[in-house]
Amino acid sequence: MKSLTIHTLITTIFLISIPTSFALPPSLENVFAQCITDFKPSNPKSPIKNFMYTQQSPNFTTILNNYVRNLRYFNSTSHKPVAIVAAADVTHIQATINCAKKLNIQLRIRSGGHDYDGLSYSSPVDFVVLDMFNLRSIKINPKLDTAWVQSGAVLGEIYYGIANKTNNLRGFPAGVCPGLGAGGHFSGGGYGNMMRKYGLSIDNIIDAKIIDAKGRLLNRSSMGEDLFWALRGGGAASFCVVFAWKIKLVPTPEKVTVFNVDTVGNRGGVNTTELAAKWQEIADKIDNDLFIRLTLGASNKTLKASFMGMYLGNSSKLLEIMNAKFPQLGLNKTDCIEMKWIESVLFWLNIPPGSAPTTVMLNRIPQKQIYLKRKSDYVQKPISRAGLEAIFKVLIENQNVTMAWNPYGGRMSEIPSTETAFPHRAGNMFKIQYSSNWFVPGEAVAKDCLSQTEKVFEAMSPYVSKNPREAFLNYRDIDIGKSLNSTYDEGKVYGVKYFKNNFDRLVKVKSRVDPDNFFRYEQSIPLLSSH
């Protein structure tokens, strides 16, 4: 079957099924639709035809667009999928894998759609989107402090469910964006503002249910520890489809304290250079219950800095820590807001306290779509004051770009870099996210914003990790290397940046569990045999 091209296969099926009268061969989408409808076993209570959308379906564009988070990859000329399967049952996933494999169609798996370079809903070749949004069950066991979470559940639903079921005494360490889907977010690492206390999402995942390239439903025990290791930080889309994760809940205090201190020029006589220098000294070494993100940007030729933090405790204890370790910021009681952990989710979305109910985090579809570019870096040595001033100058010259500096340390430094596939542990002071957003279509504005992002990224090269210049998988960035059918050497270009010394182990796992390289995309793990 592998030797047949798609068109040969379609024509063969066509000739077998219509031996006499002449007609055009059926389209690829019709052949795919027929294949998954005929697939056995099926669930009669949930017929797959009710969950499949081809380009002829009235809802096709709406379903495709609902989870597009970067308009750069969604326009009238974008290559659209042959079909979307919005799976609502394990058999739907099995059918999609089986038929995509049989017809040699690429499979793209989408849980929340936040992948920054649109790889879950775009491809240059014929592809099918396996959309996980219907698979969003969350089953919480408060007695055991665990939960089974399906891949299509978004973080807002998970947080809200946990807080409600545990009387606000438990949470889960994951991202600050409620719209992130558990499938991709967890498998790339899953970091957020509790990572200095509890590590990443993957450090709190204890089991998974997956469907492999053979269509088998497996759990941690039946898949084996090597694959379970790879799924945690290695990006599951190179290996299988994750159906559900079993997560371990973590304690949250009765009240957390949040703050957001904005500075323009200086604060209380201390300039931004001094504040950023001091932040570097303390951010990864301060109390593990405290996370302070520094965001830098410019407007009207003026640098702006924001120190946004969350402390897992009350404000008096936070002020004690800040006065001792970071007095230069001048944090005072009026800057601090005490709230339940679940309420802090809205604070990190810049929603003013008390202005919206916590149910807002259950909204899955954003009100506005944007064009964007994101990149990442890791900083391992403090940047000098002269270096900081040079960086600020570049930001003032490229005002469409902001940087978020997210501190590591704490629990992140205690977990060995080989414990999971995610390698960026001890030795990293902070991670940088570069962000550029724009709101209108057109080549000129896109070119300008991408050029600004590249200029800032290049200007940062003396200050960040080297050999390799490390990158974070979930800040997907195809600029650092890509190939649709990567050889080992092509895959290594981006692979060592994302996974460092864990790359070769990931290649071995990939070669064992998916030797035909069915699960592949522009930055997937390559096969050893392609070396």
**400-458 pLDDT per residue, tens:** 999 999 999 999 999 999 999 999 999 999 999 999 999 999 999 999 999 999 999 99
Angle at alpha carbon of residue 47, lines to 41 and 51, rounded to 5°: 120
Pick the CATH number of 256-339+370-460 from 3.40.462.20, 3.20.20.60, 3.40.50.720, 2.60.34.10: 3.40.462.20
C-beta atoms surrounding 318 within 10 Å = 26
The arithmetic mean of pLDDT across residues 352-363, rounded, is 95
pLDDT given for residue 2 in this prediction: 45
The whole-angstrom separation of Cα 303 and Cα 476 is 27
Residue 14, pLDDT above cutoff 80: no
Distance set, CA 119 to CA 30, 153, 448, 474, 494 (Å) = 24, 19, 23, 12, 15
The arithmetic mean of pLDDT across residues 327-351, rounded, is 97
pLDDT given for residue 3 in this prediction: 42
The residue assigned the tokens 């499938």 is 183
pLDDT given for residue 366 in this prediction: 86
Strand partners of residue 436: 373, 401
Distance set, CA 21 to CA 26, 30, 65 (Å) = 14, 19, 39
256-339+370-460: same fold as 28-131? no
Are 222 and 90 in contact by the 8 Å Cβ rule? The answer is: no
CATH assignment, 138-251 = 3.30.465.10
**52-84 pLDDT per residue, tens:** 999 999 999 999 999 999 999 998 889 999 999
pLDDT given for residue 24 in this prediction: 63
* Phi, psi of 133, deg, nearest 5: -65, -25
**217-232 pLDDT per residue, tens:** 999 999 999 999 999 9
The residue assigned the tokens 């909204």 is 363
Task: Tell me the pLDDT of the chain averaged across its residues.
Answer: 94
pLDDT given for residue 336 in this prediction: 98
The residues, ordered by sequence, that sit 6+ positions from 176 with a Cβ below 8 Å of its Cβ are 192, 193, 345, 348, 349
Where b means 16+ CB within 10 Å and e means fewer, 468-496 reads: bbbbbbbbbbeebbbbeebebebbbebbb
* pTM value > 0.85: yes
Task: List the domain boundaries for the chain.
Answer: 28-131, 138-251, 256-339+370-460
Angle at alpha carbon of residue 100, lines to 95 and 104, rounded to 5°: 155
pLDDT given for residue 17 in this prediction: 46
The arithmetic mean of pLDDT across residues 129-144, rounded, is 98
Length of the chain, please?
531
The arithmetic mean of pLDDT across residues 3-21, rounded, is 47
pLDDT given for residue 367 in this prediction: 82
The whole-angstrom separation of Cα 352 and Cα 372 is 25
CATH assignment, 28-131 = 3.30.43.10
The confidence band for 143, taking pLDDT boundaries of 50, 70 and 90, is: very high
Lowest mean pLDDT among 199-213, 253-267, 462-476: 253-267
